[in-house]
Amino acid sequence: MLKQMVHASKTNLEVESLRPVEEREIGHCTKVRRSVNMEKLQSGYLFPEISMREYEHSQKHPDAKIIRLGIGDTTEPVPNCIAFAMTKKAIDLSTVEGYSGYGDEQGNKALRKRIAEKFYENMGIKGEEVFVSDGAQCDISRIQMLLGSNVTVAVQDPSFPAYIDSSVIFGRAGELQGQNGKYERIVYMKCAPENDFFPDLSNTPRTDIIFFCSPNNPTGTAASASQLRRLVDFATANGSLIVYDSSYAAYISDGSPTSIYQIPGAKQVAIEVSSFSKFAGFTGVRLGWTVVPEELSYSNGFPIIKDYDRIVCTCFNGASNIVQAGGLACLSAEGFQAVSRVVNHYKENAKILVEAFRGLGMEVYGGQNAPYLWVHFPGSSSWELFAEILEKTHIVTIPGRGFGPAGEEYIRVSSFGHRETILEASNRLTSLHKHIFK
């Protein structure tokens, strides 16, 4: 009951914050002007808005059992050996011998070394080039801070909203174009079935920064080695910097590259961001990392790693030492086997959902290399579809339009969930398909 009350209170605050200013009661105001960049943001960040709509639905249907296949939050318990390592570290802090305070802002040296060995074997990445953090999304904003406000930006369309929203906040986006939902100074690289979810680089203008996520969130597709070869060549020819998000690399099943650094030459043009959230169940624990190769430099030859180190030291006091102990446990032989079993659980969930949607005659993408399905409903409004599915099945999804203009007509479906929940969702969709899938 207490948990429900806390959730309701939090959601009420989210609902209030998303209301237009003119609808809220205004009291005393400071003389501080609102940032013009914040004013340019669209109404609200996608995922809190989904939570708000879910809350409103729960108030309308208090007895409904809502199934959450929307926000990509993991559901399976953290394996015992990993939780035990964090528990032991916490207990050690209560002893004189085991207590430690601030650690290195860049992260525990043993963990940095282990990340380099585990995920970047034979790629020439050193532990000193790995910066441990409190998550990939936080690192995206630190990278945005690193690069200043005058750089130009390209993103996949559709793409994870944080790339665009943080670009707006840092003043790179220009004005929002109401007719198409795009920001005037951001280059949107359309990724759709007709181009195998990889942008047509021959028609893409040069930008300073290219945000690229593989496996992609939301489409669930992974770029092949030949596609990434083209991307690295494109960045090299244009003097661009790739910010490569590999947060879902653990889900790759078809031999696609798990890191941009598997492509020769990538260390001269790419920063890689990744996370423990989706492969180790650390969504609430919070641990990630960013790789900045020593070979990567600005136009004047100055090493970018030196500036990123300064950003980290200025804006961050380092990840929790308890959490980093859990990270090391994840990368032990026992821990990695345990988290791999959990990843396989989510991948099996994805297969169940793919079969359910395809059984309804829908075109489904993703689900093989990522925990997300990208389901196509030709001619549909994705927000209206989201609302209809929620109303008729009590299943929360994500409207594709929330990930960019190219997401219209799609919904994103998450495979994070307990097996019985996934099977129940499959049954609900199948039994009610005549009312939804027309």
Amino acid at 130: V
CATH of the domain at 242: 3.40.640.10
Verify that 240 and 345 share a domain, yes or no: no
Domain boundary among 272, 300, 332: 332
Q: What is the DSSP string of 21-68?
A: GGGS------SPPPPHHHHHS-SS-HHHHHHHHHHHHHHHSTT---EE
- The pLDDT tens digits of the residues spanning 109-130 come to 999 999 999 999 999 999 999 9
> Which DSSP helix (H) or strand (E) runs through 134?
none
Within a domain: residue 371? yes
Verify that 260 and 399 share a domain, yes or no: no
Domain boundary among 285, 310, 332: 332
Dist. CA 58–CA 60, nearest whole Å: 5
Dist. CA 284–CA 393, nearest whole Å: 28
Verify that 349 and 385 share a domain, yes or no: yes
Within a domain: residue 18? no
- Decide if 67 contacts 428 (C-beta within 8 A): yes
Verify that 67 and 187 share a domain, yes or no: no
Separation of first and last alpha carbons in the chain = 39
Within a domain: residue 172? yes
Verify that 141 and 172 share a domain, yes or no: yes
Other C-beta atoms lying within 10 Å of the C-beta of residue 32: 6
Within a domain: residue 12? no
Verify that 233 and 98 share a domain, yes or no: yes
Verify that 137 and 224 share a domain, yes or no: yes
Within a domain: residue 9? no
Within a domain: residue 59? yes
- The pLDDT tens digits of the residues spanning 157-191 come to 999 999 999 999 999 999 999 778 899 999 999 99
pLDDT in tens, the chain (438 residues): 444 444 555 555 555 555 555 556 778 999 999 999 999 997 677 888 899 999 999 999 999 999 999 999 999 999 999 999 999 999 999 999 999 999 999 999 999 999 999 999 999 999 999 999 999 999 999 999 999 889 999 999 999 999 999 999 999 999 999 778 899 999 999 999 999 999 999 999 999 999 999 999 999 999 999 999 999 999 999 999 999 999 999 999 999 999 999 999 999 999 999 999 999 999 999 999 999 999 999 999 999 999 999 999 999 999 999 999 999 999 999 999 999 999 999 999 999 999 999 999 999 999 999 999 999 999 999 999 999 999 999 999 999 999 999 999 999 999 999 999 999 999 999 887 656 665
Q: Which domain holds residue 258?
A: 80-332
CATH of the domain at 397: 3.90.1150.10
Within a domain: residue 5? no
Verify that 155 and 60 share a domain, yes or no: no
Question: How many domains would you assign to the chain?
Answer: 2
Verify that 432 and 293 share a domain, yes or no: no
Which residue is it, tokens 């339009």?
Answer: 401
- Decide if 337 contacts 343 (C-beta within 8 A): no
Verify that 120 and 245 share a domain, yes or no: yes
Within a domain: residue 72? yes
Verify that 229 and 124 share a domain, yes or no: yes
- Decide if 41 contacts 169 (C-beta within 8 A): yes
Q: Find all residues with CB under 8 Å of 433, minimum gap 6, and list them.
A: 360
Domain boundary among 332, 348, 378: 332
Verify that 137 and 237 share a domain, yes or no: yes
